Amino acid sequence: VAASEFDLIRRYFADATGTRADVALGVGDDCALLDVPAGQSLAVSMDSLVAGRHFLPADCPEGVGHKALAVNLSDLAAMGAHPAWTLLSLTLPQADEAWVEAFMQGFSRLANAFGVQLVGGDTTRGPLSITVQVSGFVDAPTALRRSGARPGDRLFVSGTLGDAALALRLRQAADVPAELAERLDRPMPRVALGRLLRGHADAAIDISDGLLADLHHVCEASGVGARVELNKLPLSGPVQAACRTGDWQLPLSGGDDYELLFSVPPTDAAELQQLCARAQQPVREIGEFTAGQGIVLIHPDGRETEGAPHGFDHFR
């Protein structure tokens, strides 16, 4: 592949997104020059999607572009940060302009929806993979950390759990209902909810590896345990049907939900629920944090079992 072909692709980066006033210099020089607002901290995060592991080379490139940015924005949401800038590194087997154009469509549409500007990028030749870095702003003392949960805090999650995992399971055998496919291919990061939770939630995380795995991260960081009531889990109809057989794997360990999990002091729980209702943010209390360690699952029949974190671990 001639270098000029990659130069061509690089052009897709230049005008991909809108312009922000805090970008003194965007795509095209050795570095971007960016102005962080006074009194704010920069919240930064990075994620890679590798073909064959996180998506398939034949997957719709527009959806891959959306998801590559969405999973990063979800991390900003989990900190209560306001998204601002992004960097994109594409490794491509060949300079496939049609693929890049569609990929950038999905990427840019989501970036523009959140006022995020692409301020730099890189393209190299190699096995298909995508790395996205995002930056946002947050007043550091109000940032939502994993380490703040306290015994007695109420445990909340947003949205519904297990939809993406069910879509992935169905895709291997049959057509997937559109709403489920959307949850897998085009997750919407809970940025507005994350902003709203600042000053109310003690701790937060986004659910990427599965409810139990990510709850386990919060418990470890906070030095607490948790109790989860399975019949309180927010489930869509199709996932509810799958759980009726007693198989709770989809909502507990499915992953790819990109919902927020957070802890709220019991005295604030009612007020927060009202705030979320007014902001049309679907949240549900599913349990509580406890002194000690470990996750206890309370089954619909009252039976209690240990909730081992079976999240997806790339190195297991």
- Nearer of residues 78 and 276 to Mg ion, judged by Cβ: 78
Q: Smallest distance from the beta carbon of 10 to Mg ion, in angstroms? A: 29
Residues 182-201 that bind Mg ion (CB under 5 A): none
Q: What one-letter code names the amino acid at 23?
A: V
- Nearer of residues 9 and 73 to Mg ion, judged by Cβ: 73
Per CB under 5 A, does 75 bind Mg ion?
Answer: yes
- Nearer of residues 75 and 185 to Mg ion, judged by Cβ: 75
Residues 34-53 that bind Mg ion (CB under 5 A): none
- Nearer of residues 62 and 206 to Mg ion, judged by Cβ: 206
- Interface with Mg ion (CB under 5 A), residue total 2
Q: What one-letter code names the amino acid at 306?
A: E
Q: What one-letter code names the amino acid at 115?
A: G
Q: Smallest distance from the beta carbon of 134 to Mg ion, in angstroms? A: 12
- Nearer of residues 238 and 309 to Mg ion, judged by Cβ: 309
Q: Smallest distance from the beta carbon of 206 to Mg ion, in angstroms? A: 4
Burial of residue 234 (CB within 10 Å: 0-12, 13-18, 19+) is buried
Q: Smallest distance from the beta carbon of 77 to Mg ion, in angstroms? A: 9
One of 62, 163, 206, 257 touching Mg ion (CB under 5 A): 206
Q: Which of the ranges 15-23, 68-76, 113-121, 288-296 carries the binding residues for Mg ion, by CB under 5 A?
A: 68-76
Q: Which of the ranges 31-39, 69-77, 101-109, 275-283 carries the binding residues for Mg ion, by CB under 5 A?
A: 69-77
Q: Which of the ranges 18-26, 50-58, 74-82, 274-282 carries the binding residues for Mg ion, by CB under 5 A?
A: 74-82
What 3 state SS string does the chain have?
CCHHHHHHHHHHHHCCCCCCCCEEECECECCCEECCCCCCEEEEEEEEEEECCCECCCCCHHHHHHHHHHHHHHHHHHHCCEEEEEEEEEEECCCCHHHHHHHHHHHHHHHHHCCCEEEEEEEEECCCEEEEEEEEEECHHHCCCHHHCCCCCEEEEECCCCHHHHHHHHHCCCCCCHHHHHHHHCCCCCHHHHHHHCCCCCEEEEECCCHHHHHHHHHHHHCCEEEEEHHHCCCCHHHHHHHCCCCCHHHHHCCCCCEEEEEECHHHHHHHHHHHHHCCCCEEEEEEEECCCCEEEECCCCCEEECCCCCCCCCC
Q: Smallest distance from the beta carbon of 72 to Mg ion, in angstroms? A: 9
- Nearer of residues 134 and 297 to Mg ion, judged by Cβ: 134
- Nearer of residues 128 and 211 to Mg ion, judged by Cβ: 211
Q: Which of the ranges 121-129, 205-213, 236-244, 296-304 carries the binding residues for Mg ion, by CB under 5 A?
A: 205-213
CA distance 276 to 194: 11
- Nearer of residues 62 and 75 to Mg ion, judged by Cβ: 75
- Nearer of residues 81 and 272 to Mg ion, judged by Cβ: 81
Q: Smallest distance from the beta carbon of 74 to Mg ion, in angstroms? A: 6
CA distance 266 to 282: 19
Q: Smallest distance from the beta carbon of 187 to Mg ion, in angstroms? A: 12
Q: Smallest distance from the beta carbon of 281 to Mg ion, in angstroms? A: 18
Tokens of 161: 């759990």
Q: Smallest distance from the beta carbon of 48 to Mg ion, in angstroms? A: 13
8 A C-beta contact, residue 128 and residue 92: yes
Contact residues: Mg ion, CB under 5 A:
75, 206
